[in-house]
Structure 1
Amino acid sequence: MNYKALAKQAIKGKKLSFDEAMQLLKTSDDDTFEFLSAANHIKRAFKGNKVKLCAIVNAKSGKCTENCSFCAQSAHHKANSDIYPLMSDKKIFSAAKKSEEEMMATCFSIVTSGKSIIKKDELATIGTAIKNISKKTSLNRCVSMGTLSKKQIEELKAKGLKRLHHNLETAESFFGNICTTHSYKERLDTIKEAKKAGLEICSGGIFGLGESLEQRLELAFTLRELEVESVPINILNPIKGTPAAKNYKPIKPFEVLRLIATYRFLLPKADIGVFGGREKALRSLQPLMFIAGANVTLIGNYLTTKGRSPEKDLQMINELGLKIDQDN
């Protein structure tokens, strides 16, 4: 396969077919580095040598009514996760300020457990936090709050919200295997409503849940159709007590890198991030995620699991000759 020629076509705007994408995803180990180099060429064309750093705060944790098979916060599972109500707006702002000053984060997301935020006082608290983050930092403001109505989206946007994070998690054809308490359509509807309101969209998935290669591509093609701005790639880090941990089969590092590269070919202009599970999935090959086409990563801790130290991530980025992208 002529990876360089395909990369040039992707840069010029040619959309890869499903069959072409499958050939990329099935690249042999022997040809993987050539494939990654071509993906890096696409990334450089649209993103230069810069990396965006996202940070999150788990602002409300546990007792989620939904039964997503991978999530430790679900009330349906017996995983050991923290349970606490919504943080104050001051505590949320403090976490945002710390992420900017100590971790060089460029985007900050407020994450809450549950299918949605129903209480008006909770929405008001989050709105106040967003307003303060907007006024007192240069961070891109993002929320990950499950299902949101048009009215809620507009209210948060008026406070300074710029981006909605709402993962599709997996392909529509596989979604029923990981969640039965809400539909794929509900997730799509929230994304479409946020796009109508003028928000940027951050949406991706979790891989290693038992989905097929075809379903990994199905998700990518859905995201391409939605024209999302940012795509987070998470690799399952199985948590004891969750259904997803029972039949967990690790994805090999090269397989993860090929997944990243394929998504870069399919979504050449999007921000492609590698978030949860990267340390365990990529191990010593972790720096190669930026060669494979990624230009974003999450710095600091994840939602219910610890990340590695920000100092190590910043060192990795520096040693690769990459720069932190401060343009929001």
Structure 2
Amino acid sequence: MMREWDAVAQSVLAGNLLTSEEALAGLQTPDRDLLDLLAAAYRVRYYYYQNRVKLNYLVNAKSGYCPEDCHYCSQSRLSTAEIPKYHLLEASDIVARARHGIQLQAGTCCIVLSGRRPAAKELDVVAEAARILKAEHPGVKICACLGLLSEAEARQLKAAGVDRYNHNLNTAPDRYDEICSTHTYEDRVHTVGSVQSAGISPCSGVIIGMGETPDDIVRMIDELRRLNVDSVPVNFLLPIPGTPLAERPLSMTPTWVLKVLSVFRLGLPDKEIRISAGREVHLRSLQPMALYAANALFVSDYLTEPGQDAALDWAMIEDLGFEIEPLGTPMGPVPARA
């Protein structure tokens, strides 16, 4: 099996696409062969990103009060979860929170608003915060996540210094209606296209653990490849009390999570793969091994749920012999030549 997965890695590095059959085989790999699969993923990861780990930091600039009904989300209109709720922060407060992320060695700060799409005033405030942050820290990468977006709105953010825009696909196309009814999968795809057209780097990812099949996961990878997104956050469902998915059992094992991340790496070889929400719960003691497939993670807390202490993340990276990507590093892969 080792030679087989090594051959798959070699094929991917030669420019061949991971086939659906290979992706399914990766997801169905027996645990005894997991290290062979992970080694193949690491070979590809190392070629494009060496041992660098990009740290991302979330700034929750508007929390709760969302009119959408995304079943997984603690901020949706269906949720009764006890979370902080507040309207849009001032630009100065957004910048202050982003500064904290930079102190935690995050090279990318992501400004997030709850809601269907940003109002004009909200867009102006985020743009102002981006301009201030860029003036103070030219090397920081700014990501925004504000909901559905038009190309004109994306161009406003681009002009203010926003480098990347996140809008997750979340699940496979034919399953989307099961997790949300207030907007469509096509709405999300349109937003990804809008930010690409405006010259902003597109970020779009998934949530694993909402009842999808292995075939669904393969379709997610195919869709992200088709849309040619640059960054892929891979979330693992946190069944938050008060949300429609609260009773979904925590059935994912750490080895399953590693298989998923390995297949995402092999299927999207040169993309930023970020282990995101749920890593602490589902990977547990195997968190460090995920970085053999993924090259990025969120440091500190998520939007409404606590994450691992930043010092533990730093230690995890150091213990692996990896290094935190320094502020100012260009986005995207820098293929190894040795």
Q: Aligned letter for 2:302?
A: Y
Instruction: Tell me the equivalent position of 1:320.
Output: 320
- d(CA) in 2 for partners of 1:271, 1:254: 21
Question: Quick one: which amino acid aligns to residue 25 of structure 1?
Answer: L
1:309 alignment counterpart: 309
C-alpha deviation, 1:197, in angstroms: 1.1
**Could you say what secondary structure the match of 2:32 adopts?**
coil
Aligned pair 1:121/2:111, yes or no? Answer: no
Residue in 2 that maps onto 1:264: 265
Deviation at 1:82, TM superposition (A): 1.5
Counterpart-to-counterpart distance in 2, 1:200 and 1:60:
23
| Residue 38 (structure 1) aligns with | 40
Alignment of structure 1 residues 206-225 onto 2, 5 Å: 206-225=207-226
* 1:196-235 equivalence runs, <5 A: 196-235=197-236
Q: Find the aligned partners of 2:47 and 2:92 in 1 and give their Cα distance.
A: 40
Rounded Cα–Cα distance in structure 1 between residues aligned with 2:180 and 2:258: 27
Residues 236-255 of structure 1: matches in 2 within 5 Å? 236-255=237-256
Whether contact under 8 Å (2:114, 2:146) holds in the other structure is yes
- Code of the residue aligned with 1:127 in structure 2: it is A
Structure 2: distance between partners of 1:282 and 1:247: 17
- Once the two structures are superposed, the pairs formed by residues 75-90 of structure 1 within 5 Å of their partners are 75-90=77-92
Matches within 5 A, 1:1-328: 1=1, 2-101=4-103, 103-118=104-119, 120-137=120-137, 138-291=139-292, 293-326=293-326, 327-328=329-330
Q: CA RMSD in A?
A: 0.9
Q: Partner of 1:114: helix, strand, or coil?
A: coil
Q: TM-score normalized by structure 1? A: 0.97
Kept after mapping to 1: 8 A contact 2:61/2:111: yes
Partners of 1:280 and 1:250 in 2: how far apart? 11
| Cα distance between partner residues in 2 of 1:126 and 1:16 | 38
Output the CA distance in 2 between the equivalents of 1:216 and 1:31: 20
Q: Is the 8 A contact 1:209 1:248 kept in 2?
A: no
What displacement does 1:208 show?
A: 0.5
Instruction: Structure 1: give runs of 5+ residues left out of the alignment.
Output: none
Alpha-carbon shift at residue 270 of structure 1 (Å): 0.3
Q: Secondary structure at the match of 2:178?
A: coil
Q: CA deviation at 1:151?
A: 1.4
Query: Displacement of 1:248 after TM fit?
Result: 2.9
CA offset digits 1:285-310 (Å, max 9, x no partner): 1101012x100000011011001110
Aligned length: 325
Letter in 1 for 2:204: S
**Unpaired runs of 5+ in structure 2?**
331-338
Separation of aligned partners in 2, 1:73 and 1:236 = 15
Structure 1 segments of 4 or more deviating over 3 A? Answer: none
Q: Give the match's secondary structure for 1:245.
A: coil
Contact 2:207-2:235 at 8 Å conserved across structures? yes
Q: How far 1:97 moved relative to its partner?
A: 1.2
Report SS of the residue matched to 2:144.
strand
Output the CA distance in 2 between the equivalents of 1:14 and 1:115: 38
Distance in 2 separating the partners of 1:300 and 1:86: 21
* Percent identity of paired positions between Structure 1 and Structure 2: 36
Code of the residue aligned with 2:241 in structure 1: it is K
CA contact (8 A) 2:54 2:325 kept: yes
Contact 1:203 1:228 in 2 (8 A): yes
Q: Distance in 2 between matches of 1:89 and 1:250?
A: 41
In 2, are the aligned partners of 1:205 and 1:234 still within 8 Å (CA)?
yes
Q: What is the deviation of 1:56?
A: 0.7
How many angstroms does 1:279 deviate by? 0.4
Q: Is the 8 A contact 1:208 1:248 kept in 2?
A: no
Q: TM-score, normalised by structure 2?
A: 0.95
